Chains A and B, each alone.
Chain A
Amino acid sequence: MDGHWPVTIDAGFYAVFHMIEALNALECRDAYTFADALDILERILAPRYLGQEFLGNYEYLFYFRRGALYGAHFPSPVAVARYAELCERMYAHVSAIVVEGEAAAGR
């Protein structure tokens, strides 16, 4: 997928981001901005459900994406592969918690 790294980076981040939003929605929350999303992640989701490691990894994704898509950097194929693998792990982690939450909420 040479030349498609912007898609990989964008899709990977938003897959994780929207799954986090799904977890928020189970408790009637929305993030209006990225800053808001990070506040909610730090204050509620990481301590209660997702863990501190997840929070650190989310920040890694956010700043990697910003630097690659908006900034001066062209990520190497190895860095993109590592990023994509991290997205997959994080997506699976949040997804499992969302499924548990849906079951607990009777949805």
Chain B
Amino acid sequence: MPTVDVHVVKAEQCWALAQQYHAGKREEFLCVNLIVYAVGHWIEAALALQHKHPSAPARGVPHADREVLMRKFLVGAKWIEPEAADTYAELVAMRHTFADDGVQDRAFIEQYVRIAEPLVERLKRLIDDRSHRIRS
């Protein structure tokens, strides 16, 4: 399983690419995915600080389990507010539209970034704060 540091590196890489694509008005679909990967890695970094990691369903990826663990261990331990988990669930649910209901347009990605940015800032603060406490 990835370490905290690996999660953080991947989160930062995906978020930087997402910002680049968003600013350049490029490939909205890939931008949405990059945001989901960034947020997911920051959540998993926080879970990894508690020595926990989501599993994936057979032939699948770990989105649902990540939300369950986020609510149980990050919200449950009061590391983060329940609204942050709601926002994560919203981002994942909104992303499903690309698979089932067409391609994201410019308005979609603008709304998506507006929803994601506060969560990203909150998760970054959480990782910084908890990493510092655990390592000091």
Contacts and interface: CB of A to CB of B under 8 A. Distances in A.
Contact of A6 (B14, B59, B60): B14
B34 A35 contact: no
A71 interface: yes
Interface of B: 1-3, 6, 10, 13-14, 16-17, 21, 27, 29-30, 33-34, 37, 40, 56-62, 100
Given A33-B59, A34-B61, 19 more contacts: A4-B17, A6-B14, A6-B34, A7-B17, A7-B21, A10-B34, A11-B27, A11-B30, A30-B100, A33-B60, A34-B60, A35-B57, A35-B59, A66-B56, A66-B61, A70-B37, A70-B40, A71-B1, A71-B2
Contact of A72 (B3, B21, B57, B59): B3
A66 B58 CA distance: 12
B70 to A, nearest CB: 15
Contacts, number: 49
A33 B62 CA distance: 12
Given A3-B13, A38-B59, A66-B56, A72 B6 contact: yes
Interface residues of A, number: 19
B98 to A, nearest CB: 9
A49 interface: no
B107 to A, nearest CB: 21
Contacts of B13: 3, 6
Q: Decide if the interface of chain A is mainly helix, strand, loop or mixed.
A: helix
14 contacts: A3-B16, A3-B17, A6-B37, A7-B17, A7-B30, A11-B27, A14-B33, A30-B100, A32-B100, A34-B59, A38-B59, A66-B56, A70-B37, A71-B1
B21 to A, nearest CB: 8
B99 to A, nearest CB: 8
A22 interface: no
A70 to B, nearest CB: 6
Nearest to B3: A72
A69 B44 CA distance: 13
Contacts of B56: 66, 70
A6 B17 contact: yes
A28 B3 CA distance: 43
